[in-house]
Structure 1
């Protein structure tokens, strides 16, 4: 006989879970008891949104479901931000939510929430476990659903009386692995279609990638004689220094790359969903009339043809499809596209040449310094905001597994992700780039970093405003500033108050030495980088908008 919390944790041990993230609650005390001597690290955060983001980042890094525990009601609703990231980013994740005594359901009991209604459109699957002896069944299914097809988040609600009850039940049998069914039959027609294209373009993204796949993708671009592009916030999927790499499809896209998307006669989509950010709101390629060949590879059949009707579709993961394509391709059959490739690369090189922005602390030079001096395996995280445009444009990603960023565009993500990355890879340099508004959404997790010895270096791009919203505000309602100004703390002093290292930088010349001191500190660090409020984006200034 075991109580439900012990049964639950025993399943996690069997599934190979090494670390969970949580904010404790009385609704899952039995699960906390099960974790007591299970050998699983329990990283306790300060707010459920940050905890869910840490778990999501863990899923991104490892390919295994990130696991989080939160309590009922406000704990669950706080965690929804991390679930949304996992859903849009195709990240495997399992969230366990403490629930009220199930004998009190539908009485609007204290903190009662119907999680099937709350999370139904936000996750892959949500269920409530009402019987203790069915825990092994539900948990095995949750991990299977989170990893199969297009990966994503799963929520299991755990009534407190079910968790504390005793049951005699065997652990689940078998193993829980992602589905491996796939056909290599798609390679030959894809290769044939590529041979007939004049101006093909390969776009890579989505889940399931690893370092070997990124190497194979670069070889595929060479064999196919085509430029290769990464989808939004998947820039580490190709070594950006490769001769065939032509940039990434982000919010602030290179205009010449946008023109190239329009001009291509053959899009090869590998792993990516090719959504609205990649297509600039579906303007680069018309879903109703694409006017180009579309070859789409995705592991989930439901994603192929969801928006764009492909000429050819292939249900397969990138790690299996790319080697199969390499075997099927005959470089001799590919026409000479050297001019197309060189032009695409030249456009990228010109785009990444830093353009000067106003102020004494120039973010473009800070990013270039980081790009040139960080170790190749350094991990860089960010949330959402215009500050990230400098990172996406000027940082050169060199190896897989070095970018953690939300394709969902969630503010506050960068710092929890950096904590998770530092705990998972303690020997690596982890740098978080965050706007002043973005950082303040989750900076309470400085306490979590201090408690567990995480050592990320946070660079706060401080312009005293919600920069992205202010940019759109000035474009739409010029001169009518409303709701976009910020009063900020002394971020460096705040870091020191938590026991970390903190410095304020106001000029470009002072940044390198400050970063070196932060790296040498041996603890978490915050560099408060004061940038000019006139610089709204790498190519847009407030004064320039005012003139318009």
Structure 2
């Protein structure tokens, strides 16, 4: 009997949707397109929450944020051509942030390939170096196989994005094939010998420090990590935008190794006689432009733990390389014991004191709104509040002065992608409606994906965007003042009334021009029960916690006159 007439045959679209449901997918994000109408029709018969977005970049960022929060692939559907290229920003974030994600792209029919048909794109070529795997499905019968492999590729080893092109005629084609079993990623466990060597290195140390980063963590693994740090009285720093991996109010917490790092923490890392990097890659930002340790020999006993074997020794040659996923490594830490007499109590206390001094004594910035004070107000929110941000100098205050106290409460792109914060907040609030979710955004940052405010209103997702408005692309202006002082060009912004913008969509909007106005504004936004914008007007001089634009310009001019 022909598969098209078999009672048990299903269309490619139904095979695809059934495979997603079998793998626990309950939510997807996307922008509809005629190239995958069959999938939309198949989804309509299910309870999958398909969140319709306003632009594919925002949809892909929501899916990436979902992958960060759950450890399972975030799912995004977009149409061919411009839909796919719009979504590429989210794919790039997922790649650099090691986030599991699957982007499904509608594609032209197989019979039209190679003619540059309407919106035809070779997705293997376009996404081949941007995604962990890019593939086009050629026949409906292979859908269960390819979807199962996609989940595994996205989650195993170093997680990342998978891009799957779906030709229109494959989605309508019938096939009589069984479903693949649900996929669970393999955990790579450290060997007993590895853990014994780690303990030996720890016992030989006098000034050890740990840097935690990467993905494939979960609440249980973070709890095991905290117990290990307590048992060993070990100072623990977190990698760039991975502050949720260790509670900031814990006496072992040392701060974040990212942009705007505490100079004293840099000094402590260089003084350390044992460095343990767990989960992170120690890329350009946490390594401070690859200047924190020598390459390839770090010059210090160096332990690197990573789920992807190829990452071990890629830049820094470790004394001990441990190929293990973070959850498995954290579980194995239960067997690592401190020396009978811990010789580094004073060291851990000194590192902690450095962090407290760095975050409790904020320097004043120009203007009536003090950014450090604003961020410290956010500390009063519940411990499970999720704070999201995109890219821009405003985020330096968030990373320095906010205290992340629980796993799953930070969504921020290590790739430095603007526009991420608000879509991430929408995804976080959709996943956990009982939690408070705040996106701290720059003015240029917010307007890159600000149209997703309409998505929040459409679905009644009461997220709060704190939009920091200084009338410019601040980070670029900062670099411009440093490299081309007095020659300001291409960085100024003419902004709307962001509070009115929110109200125009049917949300809540309020403007803040002084410190005293922020807390009442935030409380009003929380009480409104609507998507909200708190529009904060910041003095343009306040470019970083420690520098003004004028001082930066004067320093750059002075350096040139000396040169």
TM-score, normalised relative to structure 2? 0.95
For residues 515-539 of structure 1, the C-alpha deviation after alignment (integer angstroms, 9 at most, x for no partner) is 1000000111001100001011111
Q: Does residue 150 of structure 1 match 2:165?
A: no
Match of 1:223 in 2: 231
Question: What is the CA distance between 1:546 and its match in structure 2?
Answer: 3.2
Please say if residues 222 and 330 of structure 2, whose CA atoms lie closer than 8 Å, have aligned partners that are also in contact: no
Match of 1:424 in 2: 431
Q: Distance in 1 between matches of 2:467 and 2:438?
A: 11
Match of 1:494 in 2: 501
Match of 1:522 in 2: 529
Unaligned runs of 5+ in 2: 1-8, 556-563
Q: Distance in 2 between matches of 1:301 and 1:454?
A: 40
Please say if residues 27 and 98 of structure 1, whose CA atoms lie closer than 8 Å, have aligned partners that are also in contact: yes
Q: Does residue 339 of structure 1 match 2:335?
A: no
Please say if residues 199 and 226 of structure 1, whose CA atoms lie closer than 8 Å, have aligned partners that are also in contact: no
Please say if residues 157 and 325 of structure 2, whose CA atoms lie closer than 8 Å, have aligned partners that are also in contact: no
Match of 1:320 in 2: 328
Q: Distance in 2 between matches of 1:61 and 1:325?
A: 23
Residues 342-361 of structure 1 mapped to structure 2, 5 A cutoff:
342-352=349-359, 353-361=361-369
Out of 193, 200, 210, the residue aligned to residue 202 of structure 1 is 210
Residues 379-418 of structure 1 mapped to structure 2, 5 A cutoff:
379-418=386-425
- Count of residue pairs brought into register by the alignment: 545
Please say if residues 303 and 318 of structure 2, whose CA atoms lie closer than 8 Å, have aligned partners that are also in contact: yes
Q: Distance in 2 between matches of 1:107 and 1:392?
A: 50
SS in 2 for 1:240: coil
Q: Distance in 2 between matches of 1:368 and 1:4?
A: 52
Question: What is the CA distance between 1:547 and its match in structure 2?
Answer: 2.9
TM-score, normalised relative to structure 1? 0.98
SS in 1 for 2:395: helix
Q: Does residue 460 of structure 1 match 2:467?
A: yes
Please say if residues 382 and 404 of structure 1, whose CA atoms lie closer than 8 Å, have aligned partners that are also in contact: yes
Please say if residues 238 and 255 of structure 2, whose CA atoms lie closer than 8 Å, have aligned partners that are also in contact: yes
Aligned residues: CA RMSD: 1.1
Residues 279-294 of structure 1 mapped to structure 2, 5 A cutoff:
279-294=287-302
Match of 1:20 in 2: 28
Match of 1:38 in 2: 46
Q: Does residue 472 of structure 1 match 2:499?
A: no
Unaligned runs of 5+ in 1: none
Q: Distance in 2 between matches of 1:116 and 1:426?
A: 37
SS in 1 for 2:125: helix
Q: Does residue 212 of structure 1 match 2:212?
A: no
Please say if residues 202 and 338 of structure 2, whose CA atoms lie closer than 8 Å, have aligned partners that are also in contact: no
Question: What is the CA distance between 1:442 and its match in structure 2?
Answer: 0.2
Match of 1:100 in 2: 108
Q: Distance in 2 between matches of 1:2 and 1:40?
A: 19
Task: Say which is worse superposed, 254-263 or 401-410, in terms of deviation.
Answer: 254-263
For residues 15-47 of structure 1, the C-alpha deviation after alignment (integer angstroms, 9 at most, x for no partner) is 110000010111001111110111111001000
Q: Distance in 2 between matches of 1:67 and 1:335?
A: 47
SS in 2 for 1:442: helix
Please say if residues 190 and 328 of structure 2, whose CA atoms lie closer than 8 Å, have aligned partners that are also in contact: no
SS in 2 for 1:441: helix
Question: What is the CA distance between 1:228 and its match in structure 2?
Answer: 0.6
Q: Distance in 2 between matches of 1:198 and 1:170?
A: 58
Question: What is the CA distance between 1:12 and its match in structure 2?
Answer: 1.0
Question: What is the CA distance between 1:424 and its match in structure 2?
Answer: 0.4
Please say if residues 187 and 321 of structure 1, whose CA atoms lie closer than 8 Å, have aligned partners that are also in contact: no
Question: What is the CA distance between 1:205 and its match in structure 2?
Answer: 1.0
Q: Distance in 2 between matches of 1:505 and 1:408?
A: 30
Task: Say which is worse superposed, 225-234 or 384-393, in terms of deviation.
Answer: 225-234
Match of 2:64 in 1: 56
Question: What is the CA distance between 1:220 and its match in structure 2?
Answer: 1.5
